[in-house]
Structures are given as C-alpha cells and as structure tokens.
A = this chain, B = another copy of it.
Amino acid sequence: MVDTDTRKEQIYEAASALFSAHGYEATSVRDIARELGLQGGSLYAHISSKEDVLFEIVVRAADAFYAAVAPLTERADPTLELMRQMIHAHVGVVVNNLSHAVVFQQDWRRLAGPRKLEVLALRDGYEALFRRVIAAGLARGELRECDPRLTSTLLLSALNGLPAWFQPDGRLDADTIADNFADLLLNGLGATSVRSEP
C-alpha cells in the first residue's frame, strides 16, 4: 500500500475529488492547492505537472480493478458463478474508490499521446480478463453462443457507467447493484421458468 499521509498523497486525494466533481480541464492547480491550504506554485515542489497527477490517479484506478478481478479468473468455478463474482468485485472497487473510478472513466482521454496509449492498454488488459472467461465458458458449453470480444465490450460498457450514477449515500448498496447487474447480464430480462442443460 501507499503512504496515505505524505503531501503527495494528499494532492492525489484532493485532485481526484476535484477532478471527479468538475472534470480535469475545469480544475486548476490552484484549486487543488487551495484545498490543501497551499499556494498554487507550491504544488510543484511535489509534482512536476498537472497531467502527472491525472495519470497517477488513472493508473491507480486501473490497477485497483485489475487487482480485484484478476485473481478470481484463476478459479475453477462454473462460468456464470465466476462472472458473478467478477461483477461483484468490479462494483466493489467502484464503490470503495468512487472518485478515482469517476476520474478513470471520465478523464482518461485527457491524457496526452503516449500515456493515453498506456492507459488504453491497461483498459484492454482488464477487458481481456472478461473476454477470456467468456471464451473459456463458451468452450465448456456453459454460455450461449456469442462473440467474446464484442460481449466483453458490452459487459464492461454496462459496468463502466456505474461511476457516473452511483450515489454513495443513496438507497442502493454495492451488493444490491452487483446482484442486479449480474442478473441482468447473465440471466437477461426475459421470464424463464425452466432452464436446463443440453
């Protein structure tokens, strides 16, 4: 884990709160400094650019998702149960690191060239976890026919919307949301009174 008390860490925390609330471009370095009781220029004793701060927040969020979900994919559980666990883990990361997750989702495109590509690779690596589980499930006949690449994209498309609408003090907790996501994505909406193996 990272030291949570250094000035650098305080900067990341303040920045992710402000970025998530107002967006990266609409947040100035002086806004971040004010939050910590500092002058704008003083930040540069700890960071070397505003974009560095964004990059660090985004990469940490990507790492958090990967760290929570990747270990699950090693399990031998039935595919549908495994995917339910992955959905729960993903939702858990969003709920427990909300401002980071919002920035990850909302502002990663504001990174410049090479770093944007780096984050793109992290995002694809994460999606690949789902893609491979789906492909394996297909091979075992535990999923209906589908294109793993497109399906994993659609699935993450659904999960990635969560940071935009989740309310920490709302009526919905992480497990309720994850259960309903899993029901929707794994079982669908149709009424199915009977469901049997081939």
Where the two chains meet, the residues of A that have a C-beta atom closer than 8 Å to any C-beta of B are 23-26, 80, 83, 106, 109-110, 134, 137, 141-144, 146-147, 150-151, 153-158, 160-162, 164-165, 172, 176-177, 180-181, 183-198
Contact = CB atoms under 8 A, between A and B. Distances in A.
A143 B188 CA distance: 9
Contacts of A188: 144, 184-188
The 3 tightest CB contacts between A and B, nearest first, are A157-B161, A188-B188, A25-B25
Q: How many copies does the complex hold?
A: 2
B180 A147 contact: yes
Given A154-B158, A186-B188, A193-B198, 4 more contacts: A23-B25, A150-B172, A156-B161, A188-B188
B189 A83 contact: yes
A28 to B, nearest CB: 11
Contacts of A153: 165
Most buried by B among A176, A185, A190, A193: A190
A155 B184 contact: yes
B191 A194 contact: no
